[in-house]
Amino acid sequence: MEGKSAKGWLYLLPAILFLGVFLVYPLIDVFIYSFEEGYNSASQTFFGTGIYNYSYILHDPYFLQAVKNTFILVIVTVPLSTLIALGISYCLSSIKPLRELFQTVFFLPYVTNTLAVGLVFMILFRKTPYTDGLVNLLLGLFGVSPIDFIDGPYWAKMFVLCFYTIWVVLPFKILILTSALASVSEEYYNAAKIDGTRPFRIFRKITLPMISPMLFYLIITGFIGAFKAYSDAVALFGTNLNAAEMNTIVGYVYDMLYGDSGGYPSYASAAAIVLFAIVLTITCINLLISKKHVHYVG
Amino acid sequence: MKLVLSNVTKVFPGRGRGSQGTVAVDGLDFEIPDGELVALLGPSGCGKSTTLNLISGLQKPTEGRIFFGDDDVTDLPPENRGVGLVFQNYALYPHLTVMDNIIFPLGNLRGKDRMSKPEMHKKAHEIAKLVQIDELMERKPGELSGGQQQRVAIARALVKMPRVLLLDEPLSNLDARLRLQTREEIKRIQRETGITTVFVTHDQDEAMSISDRIIVMKAGVVQQQGGPQEVYDSPANLFVANFLGTPPINVFSARVQGGSLYIGDDAVMNASGAPDGEVWAAVRPEGFVLDENGPLVCNFGGLEVMGRDISVISSHAGAVNPTIRSIISAENRVDTSSKTVRFSLKPNKVFIFDKNTEERILFGA
């Protein structure tokens, strides 16, 4: 037994070392920095310990704005993108002709660089002195006066950010859900058909529970991904996100470290720990809820 | 409910341009009397499952009509036919309890047939009692044994009191012991409910043991239908003779000449009435009689003692298979030192088939 468990640990060693050095150690380090006031990474000095860093960021309007933005982004994009992806995959799996073509089309955004996509979105939505942009032209057809989505009102910018985020995360979700739907055995549908089950009941009582593990996976990773959003906002609104009121928590951390107002690793650490706590809490809630609604079939 | 298939053909379209379709079943024509348990028997790919799907309505025939009693159900969707189908892998919804699985079909009822929850549960309990799973109602299918899952599947198929019950290879996923038990179970349930039942199997033993009637199929065509004993005792062609019976029938290349059946150079049996010519002679294992002066001389290969019976293994140059298996009563004494063993044949256990068409040739008794 002894030898066996030693061998087991030996096999685990590379992974433990790797995770320890690159994941656990930095996390602990960040946690420590977040309690050290005015930590300087160059001189490795600080002038006090306590919860001042937390107090500072929680009173920083930029941080509060970032938290607000992040939460709006999460609450809007995660359910919407999952629902849309479910709808599209369900339709995809119901059609026969051209299915592969559509699958490819839906998957294309996934292999496209997000910054390039952001540029395209910016051109679509931006209002300049020379042109109102394609979206505004379309809106104009319905009598809506032009809106500056990129430098305009807060809700317009948030709309573009959510729209963009949903568009970017859709392909992966569609990919996962189409394969999950395809893996539901035809026999269940035949059994339901023999009994005269209506399509909606089949979907709710058979399809949904059968794909629930995959759906749940997408929701959890969706939440985590949305909380960590940053590059999407940069792609649309440039690097000065605080000025654009479009900063996210990760963006705030980055700014605190390297931005124009940067050089404050202690504040950045505190913000990172706050984010970590939020994500952990949400994930735990997700896990608790899922226990009731997710059906793993062994 | 009487079940009639009239000239039913199903052609599956071929893949790609110019490829021909596959004829899964070809001109099926049979009638199943009310309340009978019928086996569709045949090797894999013979179209028996397709036939079942056609009866259930999951597939539409290319040609022909299907009747339940006097109703033409050919164009009806499955839910309006009143069929219960038990799938080969049971297709129990894994996330639902046994109870929820059984009442699932009842939840689809609409209008005046709609049931309240307590009514559904009462009904489910009745059926569960019939198939003896009423103590497992709160379990999930994953927590049940194969045999129990099978019963749940049957209960789910029965709960709406279908006009016809269909079972697709009902025993194929069970181990040997459970199989024996379950087939008795199916017979009992069918008797108690009196529902016309069709089941598909490739196992002739299964078909013979519980069905009132067997329909033997090959390559989408019905070869023979009738009672199990009738089909066994009087196979219509070489395929049916080969397919039914364990151990399998022994086939010899033979010829008829002057009213006698010759295997090799030996006239082994009187076959008056059969025309002269090359034939296949098929002998059931129980059709051999040990006889010191018997006309059929085989090379002795060995003995298998099975308690009640002895199975004599031998070989013969004229036999199609390398070994001949004959079953004789254990009271016989076999001289194991001898190199040959001699048999005479029971005429009613010997069938003669045309060498080309493989159709049965009747000869005078």
Domains annotated on chain B, with CATH: 3-242 (3.40.50.300), 248-361 (no CATH)
For the record, the structure tokens of A118 come out as 């952001």
Question: What pLDDT digit, counting tens, does each position of B27-63 carry?
Answer: 888 888 888 899 998 888 888 888 988 998 888 888 8
Helix (H, G, I), strand (E, B) or coil at A16: helix
Q: pTM of the entire structure?
A: 0.78
Give A290 to chain B, closest Cα distance, Å. Answer: 14
Residue A76: which region, alpha, beta or left (left: phi > 0; alpha: psi -120 to 50)? alpha
Residues of chain A found within 8 Å of residue B56, distances taken between Cβ atoms:
194
Quote the radius of gyration of chain B (alpha carbons, Å): 25
Which of B235, B244, B285 is closest to B41 using CA atoms? B244
Both tokens assigned to B238: 């070489």
* A-contacting residues in B 127-166 (Cβ below 8 Å): 142, 156, 160
Residue A187 in contact with partner chain B when CB distance is under 8 A: yes
Prediction ipTM score: 0.77
How crowded is residue A111: how many other Cβ atoms within 10 Å of its Cβ? 7
Average predicted confidence (pLDDT) for chain B:
86
Within an 8 Å CB–CB cutoff, is residue A204 touching chain B?
no
Angle at A188 between CA B115 and CA B168, to 5 degrees: 100
Q: Distance between CA A51 and CA A183 in Å, rounded?
A: 51
Beta bridge partners of B31: B4
Other C-beta atoms closer than 10 Å to the C-beta of B96 total 18
pLDDT of residue A2: 63
Closest Cα partner for A54 from A245, A272, A289, A241? A272
Give residue A261's pLDDT.
Answer: 66
pLDDT of A1: 55
Are the beta carbons of A155 and A70 closer than 8 angstroms? no
Tokens read off for A85: 């992806």
Per-residue pLDDT of chain B (365 residues; tens, 9 = 90+): 788 888 888 888 877 666 778 888 888 888 888 888 999 988 888 888 889 889 988 888 888 898 888 888 888 888 888 888 888 888 888 888 898 888 888 888 877 778 888 888 888 888 888 888 888 888 888 888 888 888 898 888 888 888 889 988 888 877 888 888 888 888 888 888 888 999 898 888 888 888 899 999 988 888 998 998 998 888 988 999 988 888 889 888 888 888 888 887 787 888 887 788 888 988 898 888 888 888 888 888 888 887 788 888 888 888 888 888 888 887 777 777 788 888 888 888 889 888 888 888 888 75
Please report, in tens digits, the pLDDT of each residue of chain A (298 residues total).
Answer: 567 788 889 999 999 999 999 999 999 999 998 898 878 777 778 888 888 889 999 999 999 999 999 999 999 999 999 999 999 999 988 887 888 888 888 888 888 887 788 888 888 888 777 777 788 888 888 877 777 887 888 888 899 899 989 988 899 999 999 989 988 888 899 888 888 888 888 999 899 999 999 999 999 999 999 998 888 888 888 878 788 888 999 999 998 888 776 678 889 999 999 999 999 999 999 889 888 778 776 5
Tokens of B50: 């397709």
Q: Taken in order A21, A26, A27, A33, is the CA torsion positive or negative?
A: positive
CB contact under 8 A, B91 and A295: no
The total number of residues written for chain B in this structure: 365
Q: Which chain B residue has the Cα nearest residue A296? A: B95
Q: Do A190 and B85 touch (CB under 8 A)?
A: yes
Minimal CA–CA distance to A243: which of A165, A163, A159, A157?
A157
- The model's pLDDT over B208-220, given as tens digits with 9 standing for 90+, comes to 888 899 999 988 8
A293 touches chain B (CB under 8 A): no
Instruction: Tell me which residue in A192, A196, A298 faces B142 most closely, judged by beta carbons.
Output: A298
Q: Per-residue pLDDT tens for B77-118? A: 888 888 888 888 888 888 888 988 888 888 888 777 788 888
Spatial distance between the Cα atoms of B295 and B220, rounded to a whole number of angstroms: 40
Of A185, A195, A201, the CB nearest to B79: A195
Which pLDDT score, from 0 to 100, does residue B257 have? 84
Tokens encoding B135: 């103590």
d(CA B301, CA B312): 8
Pick B93's closest partner by Cβ from A193, A206, A298.
Answer: A206
Q: Which CATH architecture has domain A56-293?
A: Orthogonal Bundle (1.10)
Structure tokens at B226: 């009738």
Q: Which of B204, B203, B92, B201 is nearest to B146 (CA)?
A: B92
Count the neighbouring beta carbons within 10 Å of the beta carbon of residue B31. Answer: 12
Query: Contact, A290 vs A223, CB < 8 A?
Result: no
Angle (nearest 5°) at CA B270 between B269 and B275 = 115
Interface check for A295 against chain B (CB to CB < 8 A): the answer is: yes
Please tell me the distance from the alpha carbon of residue A102 to that of residue A97, in angstroms, as a whole number.
Answer: 10
A7 touching B (Cβ < 8 Å): no
> How far apart are alpha carbons B49 and B104 in whole angstroms?
24
Helix axes of A99-107 and A61-94: crossing angle, nearest 10 degrees: 170
